[in-house]
Structure 1
Amino acid sequence: MTHHSARREAPEPPTPLPLPVVDNHTHLDIGRDGAAPPDVASAIAAARAVGVDRLVQIGCDLSGARFTTRMIEQYAALLGGVAIHPNEAPRHAAAGDLESAWAEIEALAAHPRIRVIGETGLDYFRTGPEGVAAQQDSFRWHIDLAKRTGKALQIHDRDAHDDVLRILAEEGAPDKTVLHCFSGDVSMARECVERGYYLSFAGTVTFKNARNLRDALAVTPLDRLLVETDAPYLTPVPYRGAGNAPYLIPITVRAMAGTLNVDVPTLCRALSVNSEAVYGPW
């Protein structure tokens, strides 16, 4: 995909939110399109300046999980999540070291500021049929770890809605289950809400072709909503194509408020309360 050079420049900070919110899924260990990862202290400061005062840093491979554990000890604004991403699981299975990777994730998850097991789940877009068994085995293992540790589960679901819901039903979902970067339709949103899951919306909700996603958001109660960047990916309109960062959350929050027909302070309060209900106090 070709991007115009203007889009490579960092977007201007949006108008600050009236009340603080949480970016409940970001990757401060990853740079976009070969760029260096962000400076963590600067990313936190830029987010705080626009009302994003708490972040959940997600490490989704072993190096990312180790990074996350280091960062949560240095920065009070960060809590962490660790897992073997569904696209990583088949690679570990092929190398014969998936169980040792799980063991390291479980050891890191014992840290009191690691509050999330994730992102785990299924991805049938980037991994073909040959990787499905390893992904599903890994997903089941992470669900069990979340339940054993009492931590929240964050789910990556790409082109795998039916199997994600089926496996969660078969295994029994943890008390706190989050569909990260929710990508389902209205019927899936209603099913997830009925089951007591939280739905986290990213910058994709601002995309012009995302009407189905906005319809799903519109039927999600305020007490089931979370917001995220998934930075450095999924940058909201009008900056789609540039690198994403936690300080751009206000754009997504305001778009969500418009879809939900609620005022921005009301949504901010709900997002903050829900985040602490899922992850605990920072």
Structure 2
Amino acid sequence: MTETLEIETPAPGVVLIRLNRPKQLNAINEVMRDELALLLASLARDTSVHAVVITGAGRGFCSGIDIRDFGPGMLDAQAPAIDRMRFQEAMAGLVRAVADLPQPVIAAVNGACVGAGLALSLAADIRICSTAATFGNAAILLGLSGAEMGMSYHLPRIVGAGVAADWMLTGRTVSAEEADRRGLVSQLVEPEKLVERSVDVARGVAELAPFGVQLTKRALQVNIAAAGLGPALELENRNQVLSHATDDAAARRSSRS
């Protein structure tokens, strides 16, 4: 049991994580940060889990960090720089934990997806969003850098450098329609169908060979920054050789013959 998260298993091999501070639009406080970090670390070790869905309770996906009531760990601008760096690293660690999960992650974006929430969604492998969703980079509106929690790494790779610069430098609110048009999300669905559709996608992934799926996720992550076609092919070739020799692959080939 957790205070700020709801955890379900809606299909075999699928875990659904629901950020659960709806009155705060699921803003991340100290408890949620720590509970989510522990949960992601646990899922990374759980070989029975083959796909993960992250969504939010109520009207929001995640409205960023809870600057009004984060908890005793919140630091002010007068705190030593090293302490503020550790705080920032702990927040950024959530993004790394999502990206580093061996299982594919689907962000089911149901509403406001801002700041740290946007960063979490960008770290997911697939983003499916409700027509009611909105996206925004809030830090720059607070006098901070708009580049935080992996945003300057992930966003240009997803929507392109020019669009990323527009969104990150202005901090403007991006509609679900624009997010879909710019390629931020892979599907746009009605609010009442969002979780069902996201779980359906996760179920389909979970029914595939886990080793092949996880090798595919890693290849996508590595080869997006590959120096050229040659290094990308080298990794792909090794992945195919490794996955070809598994019992799972042999059984699936046999069932199709």
Determine which structure has greater relative contact order: mean sequence separation of CA pairs < 8 Å that are 6+ residues apart, divided by chain length. 1
Rg larger in structure: 2
| TM-score bracket for this pair, using the shorter chain length | 0.3 to 0.5
TM-score by length of 1: 0.34
